């Protein structure tokens, strides 16, 4: 069997195409939004959102990388990439606000976020070990290996599905707070919405890819049982 499973690539092609479109969209949206000045930097916007919610204890740090922005629920800190942290643009403000939205979720014990955080270890293990067992089981026609791989990779699908409402909700919170706190004017929100919608599409593509990958191996498992 070839190292590259072309059958799998063909099966998940819709997700790959969607991911490609999302990447083009987010680069274009970020480039446009980066050209439009904002009242404050990404750091200042996130700090204002957090302070308005009483989350003075949540820190904001600069982290290396391009668009490496994320919220760490364990350390209660937002980590923003250099361009988002420092730049005074609508793109930077939108991304920083989205990450602040995750901190607001954490403070409110938003259930999908709680479930997602609990699923992280299983999803991380399932992503690596699950795929190894699936491929080995398929190559050597070992049914029980494929079954274990399917179970492990199911954790990845579960994580991706739960992650969708988390990401969409964080963006909704961000857009609401940006207007309510006067960080962004309503007429400027189109730039922010474009960046956040494109980012959301990448999560949809990742979820679709995980689901199709699991279905591909489940079909192989069932066919070999027959």
At 42 the pLDDT is: 98
Average pLDDT of the residues in 204-223:
96
pLDDT for 4 equals: 60
Pseudo-torsion of CA 182, 187, 190, 192, nearest 10°?
-20
Q: How far apart are CA 69 and CA 66, in angstroms?
A: 8
Q: What is the pLDDT of residues 68-96, one digit of tens each?
A: 999 999 999 999 999 999 999 999 999 99
Q: What is the pLDDT of residue 41?
A: 98
Q: 108 forms bridges with which residues in the sheet?
A: none
pLDDT digit string, tens, across residues 184-203: 999 999 999 999 999 999 99
The residue among 58, 87, 93, 97 whose CA lies nearest residue 75 is 58
Question: For the residues 151-174, what does the mean pLDDT come to?
Answer: 97
CB 101 within 8 A of CB 199: no
Contact 18, 25 (CB under 8 A): no
Asked if pLDDT for residue 5 goes beyond 90, the answer is no
pLDDT, one tens digit per residue, over 40-50 is 999 999 999 99
59 - beta bridge partners?
77
- Percent of the chain at pLDDT exceeding 70: 98
Pick the catalytic residue from 99, 167, 180, 188: 99
Helices H / strands E in the chain, number of each = 9, 3
Is residue 144 very low, low, confident or very high in pLDDT (cuts 50, 70, 90)? very high
CB atoms within 10 A of CB 20: 11
| Mean confidence (pLDDT) of the chain | 95
Element (H, E) at 78: strand 77-80
Q: What is the phi-psi region of residue 109: left when phi exceeds 0, alpha when psi lies from -120 to 50, beta otherwise?
A: left
- The single residue listed with the structure tokens 């999560």 is 203
**Is 99 annotated as catalytic?**
yes
Contact 159/203 with Cβ under 8 angstroms?
no
Q: Point out which residues pair with 61 in neighbouring strands.
A: 79
d(CA 158, CA 124): 12
Helical (H) or strand (E) element with 26: helix 13-34
Question: How is the chain split into domains, by residue range?
Answer: 6-225
Using only the alpha carbons of the chain, give its radius of gyration.
Answer: 20
Cα–Cα distance measured from residue 147 to residue 195, given in angstroms and rounded to the nearest whole number: 40
At residue 226, the pLDDT reads 60
Edge-to-edge strand ranges of the sheet holding 70-72: 59-62, 77-80, 70-72
Residue 34 has pLDDT above 50, yes or no: yes
Asked if residue 128 has pLDDT above 60, the reply is yes
Q: Is residue 165 within 8 Å of 159, Cβ to Cβ?
A: no
Percentage with pLDDT > 90 across the chain: 93
- Is the pLDDT score of 1 beyond 50? no
> Is 196 in contact with 146 (CB distance < 8 Å)?
no
* pTM of this structure: 0.92
């Amino acid at each position: 069997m070839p190292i590259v499973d072309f059958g799998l690539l063909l099966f998940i092609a819709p997700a790959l195409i969607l991911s490609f479109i999302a990447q083009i969209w987010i680069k274009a949206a970020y480039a446009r939004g980066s050209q439009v000045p904002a009242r404050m930097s990404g750091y200042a916007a996130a700090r204002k959102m957090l302070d308005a919610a009483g989350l003075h204890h949540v820190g904001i740090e600069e982290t290396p990388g391009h668009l490496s922005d994320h919220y760490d629920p364990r350390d209660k800190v937002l980590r923003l990439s250099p361009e988002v942290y420092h730049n005074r643009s609508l793109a930077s403000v939108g991304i920083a606000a989205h990450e602040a939205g995750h901190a607001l979720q954490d403070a409110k014990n938003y259930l999908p976020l709680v479930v997602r955080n609990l699923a992280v270890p299983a999803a991380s293990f399932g992503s690596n070990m699950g795929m190894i067992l699936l491929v080995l089981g398929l190559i050597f026609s070992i049914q029980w290996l494929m079954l274990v791989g399917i179970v492990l990779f199911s954790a990845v699908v579960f994580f991706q599905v739960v992650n969708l409402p988390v990401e969409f909700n964080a963006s909704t919170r961000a857009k609401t707070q940006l207007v309510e706190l006067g960080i962004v004017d309503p007429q400027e929100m189109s730039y922010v919405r474009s960046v956040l919608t494109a980012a959301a599409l990448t999560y949809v593509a990742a979820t679709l890819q995980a689901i199709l990958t699991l279905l591909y191996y489940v079909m192989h498992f069932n066919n070999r049982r027959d």
